[in-house]
Amino acid sequence: MYDREPLDFSMLSVNATEAALDDVRALLGDGGLGMDADIRQFVVARSGKRMVGCAGIAGNVIKCVAVAVDYRGDNLSARLLAEVEIMAVRQGHSHLFLYTRPANLDVFRRCGFYPLAQWDNVAVLMENTPVGIHLYARSLAQYYHPGKAIGSVVMNANPFTLGHRYLAEQASAASDWLHIFVVGEDVSLFPYAERLEMVKQGVAHLGNVTVHAGSDYLISRATFPGYFLRDAQLISQTFSAIDLLIFRNHIAVPLGITHRFVGTEPFCPMTHQYNQDMYDWLENPARSPKPPVRVVEIERKCQASGRAISASEVRKLLNRGELARIRSIVPASTFAYLKQPTLSEPVGSYVLGI
């Protein structure tokens, strides 16, 4: 043990040589891990030419932390995390998250990470502050409105359509107050700031609505990790569990939310399953000691043809330059934005967001 060469820490881009990335994949594979596609950089530790540790970063999410078997117990995980945190801060990210197996809880606790939500022995989400989620909950409490039925809607609005407006109107009519949350991560065709503004304009006629800015605690499926889960179905189930537990335990409580409204999903099987998962994670008393949140599915608004309105169709029509067809399925406020010259040209293929 004492004859080992000093460790060398360096940054490795995903654009590095294939041989270097093969070393990362091999190290991850030894620990039963895969490599998530959204990672742009790794911090790697080498002993001589041998790679003995790695930690990846995607935005503000630390992923793919692995240590060679014979280096475990040497505090290498903590050193890797310290290095990757320094790299993240240089990139403008000080508030960091980490997903891992619950068996690793103690290891990452010692590295300064604190659990946010856990699903049995499958996965746990941690953050690098003991007060982050509590401060967020406190910030939400200022928007509390009393009432017997306090509704909520979470949307990406990529872009905001007449379907989104219909859902908001139905939820507003059924609630004493309605809280709308806009997913904040910029993984969609339309930047977050523009999506937020479209939502605000699209529901401005409703008098009992608060539109909330996005936060790191509203998880995007696009950035949810799969490196330690591998199985696609398990990844989807885990996303639902973590996302909905955070909503029930930390978002619904300070706002007194009693209901969550969602539109039916006729097109995407993954989103449809997420809607069904809501009933279990939000309503089941066995899932959380916090008050249950009743799930209400609203039949999606249809076009004159009978086809359900979807944001994905708007993006396809925009890509083909068919603005005339878009006019009938988005509010005037959204259409005014979409017909700008910079957006009337083909924009490529985007499939994220509803």
b/e 235-244 (16+ beta carbons within 10 angstroms → b): bbbbbbbbbb
Q: What is the pLDDT of residues 144-163, one digit of tens each?
A: 999 999 999 999 999 999 99
Q: What is the pLDDT of residues 186-225, one digit of tens each?
A: 666 788 899 999 999 999 999 999 999 989 898 766 556 6
Evaluate the CA torsion angle 75, 69, 57, 136 in order and state its sign.
Answer: negative
Distance CA 305, CA 307 (A): 6
Distance CA 160, CA 177 (A): 21
Amino acid type, 237? Q
Contact 179, 206 (CB under 8 A): no
Q: How confident is the model at residue 349 (pLDDT cuts 50, 70, 90)?
A: very low
Query: What mean pLDDT do residues 222-244 have?
Result: 79
Q: Which fold has domain 7-95?
A: Aminopeptidase (3.40.630)
Q: What is the pLDDT of residues 19-35, one digit of tens each?
A: 788 999 999 999 888 88
- 217 phi, psi to nearest 5 deg: -90, 0
- Which pTM value belongs to this model? 0.89
346 pLDDT above the threshold of 80: no
Q: What ranges do the domains of the chain cover? A: 7-95, 135-343
Two structure tokens written together for 66: 């692995």
343 pLDDT above the threshold of 60: no
Give residue 222's pLDDT: 57
92 pLDDT above the threshold of 70: yes
Q: Which fold has domain 135-343?
A: Rossmann fold (3.40.50)
Two structure tokens written together for 106: 């103690």
- 141 phi, psi to nearest 5 deg: -60, -25
Query: What mean pLDDT do residues 239-252 have?
Result: 95
Contact 235, 227 (CB under 8 A): no
b/e 66-78 (16+ beta carbons within 10 angstroms → b): bbbeebeebebbe
In angstroms, the Cα distances linking 320 to 84, 161, 305, 341 are: 42, 18, 20, 14
Q: What is the pLDDT of residues 40-55, one digit of tens each?
A: 899 999 999 999 999 9
Q: How far is CA 40 from the centre of its chain?
A: 17
